[in-house]
Amino acid sequence: MQIFGVDIGGSGIKGAPVDLDRGDLAAERCKVLTPQPATPDAVADGVRQVVDHFGWKGPVGITFPGVVTGGATIRTAANVDKSWIDTDARTLLGDRLGGLPVTVVNDADAAGVAEMAFGAGRDRKGTVILLTFGTGIGSAVFTDGVLVPNTELGHLELHGHDAEKRASSKAKDDHDLTWEHWAHRVQRYLAHVEMLFSPELFIIGGGVSRKSEKFLHYIDGVKAEIVPAQLQNNAGIVGAAMRAASGAA
């Protein structure tokens, strides 16, 4: 069975049909740059461009980098234009896609759902936290496989700053940090999250997951197991398609 998944990020919008039996992309993904400013209309045009690239005519699951309530309404927009707040994303995106059935879900929650089903969190019990390091830091928290939605742990305060302003991969690039220096920031962030939630497992997602050999060995002093996401940066696309297939709101 195939469902289309789209992952809206602060820097890129990417999507592809997903083979839900394998938990993997069924075709090479299409990616366009996130427009700046990332207004609802501009982003919706980018999503349409990605979906039209494949001529897709079925259900579409779409991630959003912020809190999504009721399967439709955007409540936060840290890394896209603030005009997204209170937007009915399901209606906007569905209309832009010519009336295709649309499911909207928080981006990190989607990535976490995919990793728990097909990746590093498969068959893991207890508390598992996936953290996506990209333009910001997204989070997905699971207890015995059950998602606690919209946790947004990237906005915890760390040394007087929003954590994602210090430890996201964008922060690494903006401040020209070495992998070692950045890893020490990530370690302090993980230790803070561990103090609050005592997880058994951290899954590190986002684009940096495919470069885990460059930084994971620098992280110590955290009791939880730390592993890279197995689906890497495709996890959001896969999870979006999974939520669309299940009809999850």
Count how many domains the chain has: 2
The model's pTM: 0.95
Amino acid at 15: G
Residue 87 burial by CB count (10 A; 0-12/13-18/19+): exposed, middle or buried?
A: buried
| CA-to-CA separations, 44 to 70, 77, 95, 99, in angstroms, rounded | 19, 15, 9, 13
Domain span at 200: 120-230
Whether residues 211 and 241 fall in one domain: no
Spatial distance between the Cα atoms of 225 and 120, rounded to a whole number of angstroms = 11
Decide if pLDDT at 19 tops 70. Answer: yes
Whether residues 102 and 134 fall in one domain: no
pLDDT tens column, 138-151: 999 999 999 999 99
Residue 201, phi-psi category: left (phi > 0), alpha (psi -120 to 50), beta (remainder): beta
Whether residues 92 and 125 fall in one domain: no
The verdict on residue 72 lying in a domain is: yes
Spatial distance between the Cα atoms of 35 and 79, rounded to a whole number of angstroms = 12
Q: What's the CATH number where 150 sits?
A: 3.30.420.40
| CA-to-CA separations, 177 to 65, 168, 171, 186, 199, in angstroms, rounded | 24, 11, 8, 12, 28
Spatial distance between the Cα atoms of 32 and 36, rounded to a whole number of angstroms = 12
Mean pLDDT of 27-33: 98
Whether residues 154 and 80 fall in one domain: no
Which pLDDT score is estimated for 249? 36
The verdict on residue 73 lying in a domain is: yes
Decide if pLDDT at 248 tops 50. Answer: no
Amino acid at 140: A
Whether residues 130 and 196 fall in one domain: yes
Percent of the chain with pLDDT over 90: 96
The verdict on residue 221 lying in a domain is: yes
User: What is the DSSP code string of 201-213?
Assistant: EEEEESGGGGGGG
Mean pLDDT of 191-196: 98
